[in-house]
Amino acid sequence: MAGHLFLDAEPWVDWAWVSTHVPTVLGYLGQHVELTAISLAGGIVISLPLGVAAYRWTGLRLPALGLFGTFYTIPSLAFFALMVPYTGISELTALIPLTGYNVLILLRNVIVGLDEVPRDVLDAADGMGYRPFARLLRIELPLALPAMLAGLRVATVSTIGIITIASVIALGGLGELIYQGFIESFRTPLVVGMVLCVAFALVADVLLAGVRRLAMPWARSG
Amino acid sequence: MLLWFGDGAHWRGSDGIPTRLGEHLHLSVESVLIGAVIALPIGIVLGHYGRFGNLAISVSNVGRAIPSYGVLVIAFTLFGFGDGPIVLALTALAIPPMVTNSYVALTEVDPDIKEAARGMGYREFAQVLRIELPLAVPLIMAGIRTSAIQVVATATVAALIAGGGLGRYIVDGFAQFDYTKLFAGAVLVALLALATELSLSALERVLVPRGIRLLTARAARRGTAFKTA
């Protein structure tokens, strides 16, 4: 496998390969979407209650942010490898670290979003007779939504990129195509994997921007 | 795993821990330094004039969407094996958070302070150097820290396409079904990343002037969330 030259003849995309490998490529894409969706869902399920708790009891912030901040600092390949003795080569090996990363980004944004709800609004809600739980659900969380959705977009795009690294230890996803392009010294799967990965990130980002518009009709201009 | 670390053979020679650590640090430091030399002036100039803000911000957003693993493999297909292509790819990945953070840091300098500086007769260059930069240090350092951690992380993946670094143990351990080696490598990489984070935080504390430290205690936490590896 000699080094290539800049101006060699190999085309970046061999369409014949692409046309015969559609099912394989779609399979990897499906896996990629699945890993993204599950790890984001897991991140939301953990970070939302934890964020609300940390907002209420500020003593919880430092330990919670510290713990997940430490996870976030651990490089993904190392984190995946740390899971292998416990979960083997399975989807769980990828999902646990990815979920941990998402929790940090979402947790920060839940706390910041809730912190930024104006004091006046809370007073008004109290004056209108809202109980604490109803106030949280109907006033504070909706007002924190912009910050939370901003976090979700960052988490989504990051996750889609990081999943490619899972293929270094054969955990699937579009990274498998990048790996194949490297191992076989064949550019087409590499380019297909890269393009689909970036396209998926962009589509997901645009969709979440759409969710933002739907969820917050009062913030259309933003 | 303790046995693995206890075995003297793992501490010597070209595949020993000190050598691999040295390679990892060498690749990372070189990439972050080159990246900083390119990124910081761009971010600082754009931030000072408050121009091209969308550009400075979207550099990070686009950088986040491009898989770092793919960037490494592309550098390899273009330029072959070796440290050169790896440093090139790592540098490209180091640039976005530094541009964005230094841009934001400079735009956030209080306009009143800038006006006061001008009133005191500061020329533009002196104003940037002596007034704006010290105020911007916390966020700029947060950007450098983010970049450095990403580079250390991506250098691990680089073991797949070429030579050295601690990622070797993970990649080889996986290929040889030697899960002890895989796990030990993962522990070493995780420790290196945490050590990078801690030492750069300490450096930040030294660099930030004391008066400003009190004002911007939370700046470090506002750094761009950027993780691609």
Q: Does A219 or B108 have the greater pLDDT score? A: B108
Question: With 80 as the cut, is the pLDDT of residue B183 above it?
Answer: yes
Distance from CA of B83 to the nearest CA of A (A): 13
ipTM > 0.90, yes or no: no
In the prediction, which pLDDT does A3 show?
Answer: 46
Q: What is the CATH number of the domain that holds B217?
A: 1.10.3720.10
Question: Which chain A residues are Cβ-neighbours of B93 within 8 angstroms?
Answer: none
**Residue B167 belongs to a domain:** yes
In the prediction, which pLDDT does B42 show?
Answer: 94
C-alpha pair distances (Å), A205 with each of A161, A219, B89, B114, B184:
13, 18, 25, 37, 37
> Tokens 């953070």 identify what position?
B101
C-alpha pair distances (Å), B122 with each of B129, B168, B213:
10, 52, 23
Instruction: Please indicate whether, in this complex, the C-beta atoms of B185 and A81 are within 8 angstroms of each other.
Output: yes
The answer, for A202 touching chain B at a CB cutoff of 8 Å, is yes
Average pLDDT over residues B127-148: 91
Question: With 70 as the cut, is the pLDDT of residue B79 above it?
Answer: yes
Question: Which chain B residues are Cβ-neighbours of A3 within 8 angstroms?
Answer: 79-82
**Residue B227 belongs to a domain:** no
CA distance B129 to A156: 38
| pLDDT tens column, A116-151 | 999 999 999 999 999 999 999 999 999 999 999 999
Is residue A1 very low, low, confident or very high in pLDDT (cuts 50, 70, 90)? very low
Average pLDDT over residues A54-69: 93
Question: With 90 as the cut, is the pLDDT of residue B149 above it?
Answer: yes
Is residue B162 very low, low, confident or very high in pLDDT (cuts 50, 70, 90)? confident
Of B4, B53, B28, residue with least CA distance to B154: B28
User: What range does the domain containing B53 cover?
Assistant: 2-222
**Of B170, B179, B190, which has the smallest distance from its Cβ to A85's Cβ?**
B179
Domain count, chain B: 1
| pLDDT tens column, A142-180 | 999 999 999 999 999 999 999 999 998 888 899 999 999
Average pLDDT over residues A55-63: 93
Question: Which chain B residues are Cβ-neighbours of A185 within 8 angstroms?
Answer: 77
Q: Which are the contacts of B190, defined by CB distance < 8 A and separation ≥ 6? A: A74, A75, A78, A79, A82
Question: Which chain A residues are Cβ-neighbours of B156 within 8 angstroms?
Answer: 75, 77-78
The listed range with the strongest mean pLDDT (A93-97, A210-214, A215-219, B161-165) is: A93-97
Q: Does B13 or A78 have the greater pLDDT score? A: A78
Question: With 90 as the cut, is the pLDDT of residue B22 above it?
Answer: yes
| pLDDT tens column, B46-55 | 999 988 888 8
3-state secondary structure of B122: coil
Question: With 50 as the cut, is the pLDDT of residue A222 above it?
Answer: no
Instruction: Please indicate whether, in this complex, the C-beta atoms of B70 and A193 are within 8 angstroms of each other.
Output: yes
Percent of chain B with pLDDT over 70: 95
Q: Where are the domains of chain A?
A: 25-215
Instruction: Please indicate whether, in this complex, the C-beta atoms of B225 and A105 are within 8 angstroms of each other.
Output: yes
A25-215 belongs to CATH 1.10.3720.10: yes
The residue of chain A with its CA nearest to that of B73 is A182
Token output for A26: 């779609």
The residue of chain A with its CA nearest to that of B80 is A3
In the prediction, which pLDDT does B223 show?
Answer: 65
Question: Which chain B residues are Cβ-neighbours of A77 within 8 angstroms?
Answer: 153, 156-157, 167, 170, 186, 189, 229
User: For residue B133, how many other CB atoms are within 10 A of its CB?
Assistant: 18
